[in-house]
Structure 1
């Protein structure tokens, strides 16, 4: 009771501040905190519903980059965690369990696929369905089965799909994913406006004036296939245009490319992470622990990108040794994801060591040709948790 009284007094004192100051303070908060403020009292709720304030807040947060992780220990203990590069000192909890009760059967196994703004996409492993969750509007929507039919969680590839607001900032969305279907690179696209799937075969077109296809602002790049000799990547822009297919290959057909700063080495000690027409190669050394277990330690990370004509993987840069020295820790397993946005390539690596997870966030500024490492705080109850999905996303919005 005393704690409730203290919280009420604090909230009351906050509401007595001048409205301009209240708006300024709220503008500095991340959306999960703002959602909690809505229930404090009517005056704060009215500020949050003002369209001018909503526009200002959305503009203020438009450049933020979020990393979301879906953690679960039991089916009843599943939480979506988020952290932003604008406030990297704490993790935010996004509670979605109550929202899912009416849609997800008890005991269903959820896997977090991808996110964009306020949209979060999950796959249901048992029923093999896909649902979209919007924690701001508190809505859950089942997406009809794709033309490929129901799919288990292992069928979805992180680098081969995207969730897009359409148009940006609206409550409508597009879910697109790429596959090599019947030996043909194919784009599958769901449009929420018409609640329908479309299937489009990608056009085999090599553009000498590719120039990145103005990749930052216009095109999205999806990995349909990645192999030892090269990749199949589909580039897509608007729903009205035919997607394009590119086949970047490694120099010399995948042979040693020492002049580019990487080599094939032992496949077991090399991890490839793809995303947005880029690739990170994480190279590790094998070590034996005191318990006589085979572990790995990161010894180098290289960034490659698709060439200007889309025909080759080109070496871009290596993570400096001083950063490698800070992030290298023994691990047993590792996964990651990669995103390019606003002139920067961001990669996150999640490693597990005997049930304990470690997260590495790396960023490469393309214009400045500079690497940075974003140290992240630990968060509670990570040991023995099942990490059921990870994704980068753009900033959360109030609408």
Structure 2
């Protein structure tokens, strides 16, 4: 990690003179990417971090830690993931991955960050049209063979239409799932890293009287978003018996205007819809602000509020869940978001850009206690750069 500015050889030698139990306690106060970096400092640190007791204690803490990963568009030789965790709310971590990606030939082009789960991260190339899986802890990289739909450019991957599912055993095995319309019918595509093969399954219309998706451990992949109806594919993490859900959306709360999904430009959009894991976040904006700078006219909108909706128990409708409390007023020219659910906690990130400056807010909602938490994130030093992927992940573990 680039944040280890003080990990000089002299400091490392001094630390090695302390009792091993004390060193372990110091290491356990760090987040996992810092620990992985320390493992490379010297053999003594590597031996301590590889100790079975330390690994067990570290993984117990790490599995409850949630990360937000951001990737900005830059040359491959400088490829860096920016990471922020709810355990350390005052800084971003920089995770260089250029060395990891060297075995894969991308002809120097920049990559796009698709998804993350546990230790596995997926990146896509637009020119070569390939997807690679990077394991940050085992320090390995693996090319994924083309899907049954053939090579795909980065614009073909819709965030809410795909899901990366890793096995909890820590084996590093994973499934990459995505849903698409093929001949006017939803199809589920699944890549299994254990067999290195793809499988496709035509989904069937659900019998909503027998299906209770919420709380059932289902994976939801959004295929179509409309103003009044959505099309989702619901499956288990093991990809058994995928079905189609068509929840209706009755927005009787008096808001009309334009609608966008996933990414909005402030000059034309009233409502941004962000989907994920059977939930929908509606980001509402008002009024364009027009500013003039250097002879250029810029149009921005102002964020006014956020609502959370979820699938009904039978999967037939979108039901209102909650509104983010307080007044949120934030000017922006462009905005995007991501939304994930785990163990009853909804995690959402709103990323806005105004005059080249990126602003990020982490929102979480406890579905049991109906409580919101908002956390403005510190500056990620991304002014002037383009966003090339964002994802939540949790459960990073040592092998």
Task: Provide the TM-score with structure 1 as the length reference.
Answer: 0.91
**Residues 178, 223 of structure 1: 8 Å contact kept:** yes
1:13-51 Cα deviation digits (max 9, x unpaired): 212222112111211211221122112222211111122
Per-residue deviation at 1:285?
A: 1.1
Indicate conservation of the 8 Å contact 1:167/1:173, yes or no.
no
Partner of 1:295: 300
CA shift in 2, pair 1:370/1:152, >3 Å: same
Q: 8 Å contact 1:276–1:338 — kept in the other structure?
A: yes
The corresponding residue for 1:57 is 58
Question: In the alignment, what sits opposite 2:264?
Answer: none
Q: Quick check: 204-213 or 23-32, which moved more? A: 204-213
Aligned position for 2:375: 374
* In structure 1, distance between residues paired with 2:318 and 2:337: 19
Which residues of 2 match residues 343-382 of structure 1 at below 5 A?
A: 343-380=344-381, 382=382
Partner of 2:11: 10
Partner Cα distance (1:38, 1:32) in 2:
10
Counterpart in 1 of 2:336? 335
Unaligned runs of 5+ in 2: 260-268
Q: Deviations over 1:338-375 (max 9, x none)?
A: 00112111110111112111111111111111111012
- The equivalent of 1:257 in structure 2 is 252
Unaligned runs of 5+ residues in structure 1 are none
SS at match of 1:212: coil
Q: Is the 8 A contact 1:81 1:92 kept in 2?
A: yes
Q: In the TM superposition, what is the alpha-carbon distance from 1:5 to its structure 2 partner?
A: 11
**CA shift digits 1:128-177 (9 cap, x unpaired):** 11111112111111000000111000000101111111354222111111
Is 1:309 paired with 2:318?
no
Alignment of 1:197-276 (within 5 A): 197-208=198-209, 210-215=211-216, 218-239=217-238, 241-251=240-250, 256-258=251-253, 263-267=255-259, 268-276=269-277
The answer to whether the 8 A contact 1:32-1:93 is kept is no
Contact 1:94/1:135, CA 8 A, preserved across alignment: no
User: Where in structure 2 are the equivalents of 1:90-101 lying within 5 Å?
Assistant: 90-101=91-102
Distance 1:197 1:44 in 2: 40
Count of matched residue pairs: 383
Per-residue deviation, 1:52: 2.6
SS of the residue aligned with 2:152? coil
Q: Which residue of the partner structure matches residue 172 of structure 1? A: 173
CA drift of 1:61 comes to: 1.1
Confirm or deny: 8 A CA contact 1:189 1:197 kept in the other structure. Answer: yes
Higher mean displacement: 111-120 or 236-245: 236-245
Worse-matched range after superposition: 162-171 or 295-304: 162-171
- Deviation (angstroms), 1:84: 0.9
Q: Do 1:206 and 1:309's aligned partners in 2 also have CA atoms closer than 8 Å?
A: no
Farther off after superposition, 160-169 or 172-181: 160-169
Query: Which SS does the other structure have where 1:98 is aligned?
Result: helix
| Alignment TM-score, normalising by the size of structure 2 | 0.91
For 1:92 and 1:264, how far apart are their aligned partners in 2? 40
Deviations 1:64-123 (A, max 9, x none): 111000013334333111111111211111111012122032322311000001100011
The answer (yes or no) to whether the contact 1:208–1:308 under 8 Å persists in 2 is: no
Mapped contact 2:164–2:176 kept (Cα < 8 A): yes
Aligned pair 1:105/2:99, yes or no? no
1:68 aligns with 2:60: no
Report the Cα distance in structure 2 between the residues aligned to 1:5 and 1:22, rounded to whole angstroms: 16
CA contact (8 A) 1:248 1:312 kept: yes
1:397 corresponds to: 397
1:87 match: 88
CA drift at 1:314: 0.5
Which residue number corresponds to residue 266 of structure 2?
A: none
SS where residue 22 of structure 1 aligns?
Answer: helix
CA RMSD of aligned residues (A): 1.9
